[in-house]
């Protein structure tokens, strides 16, 4: 089995898996779009062997299928960066909400003492 057939198979299975996670509402659509796009791009690149060989030649890669893994690695880094940004924003929101709850509880406690 060639690495290209394996790559196509894995990308298709991954695409089906992501779609199933979305259908079962275990993965939000906004995050699934990146994974779906990645799977489709990987299938297209895997189907176009001459493109992979051309990119490998331009990059000086001796084993052309390694370029597929390079694309996957670059995507993973980009996605991890995206998730880090999301986590940072959510952390700031949790901190703000925690502070607001503490202020509300303090006001409630003060009003309870005044009654």
User: Tell me: the pLDDT tens digits for 52-103?
Assistant: 899 999 999 999 888 888 888 888 898 899 889 999 999 999 999 999 999 9
pLDDT of residue 115: 62
* Phi-psi category of residue 63: left, alpha or beta, with phi > 0 → left and psi -120 to 50 → alpha: beta
Residue 1 predicted with pLDDT over 70: no
Q: Cα–Cα distance between 108 and 98 in angstroms, integer?
A: 15
| pTM (2 d.p.) | 0.66
Radius of gyration of the chain (CA): 23
- Count CB neighbours of 41 within 10 A: 14
How buried is residue 98: exposed, middle or buried, by Cβ count under 10 Å (0-12/13-18/19+)?
exposed
């Amino acid at each position: 089995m060639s690495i290209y057939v394996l790559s196509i198979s894995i990308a298709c299975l991954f695409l089906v898996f992501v779609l199933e996670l979305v259908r079962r509402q275990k993965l939000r659509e906004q995050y699934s779009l990146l994974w779906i796009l990645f799977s489709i791009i990987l299938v297209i690149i895997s189907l176009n062997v001459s493109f992979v060989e051309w990119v490998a030649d331009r990059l000086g890669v001796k084993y052309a299928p390694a370029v597929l893994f390079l694309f996957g690695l670059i995507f993973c880094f980009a996605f991890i960066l995206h998730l880090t940004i999301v986590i940072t924003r959510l952390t700031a929101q949790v901190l703000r909400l925690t502070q607001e709850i503490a202020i509300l509880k303090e006001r409630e406690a003060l009003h309870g003492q005044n009654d």
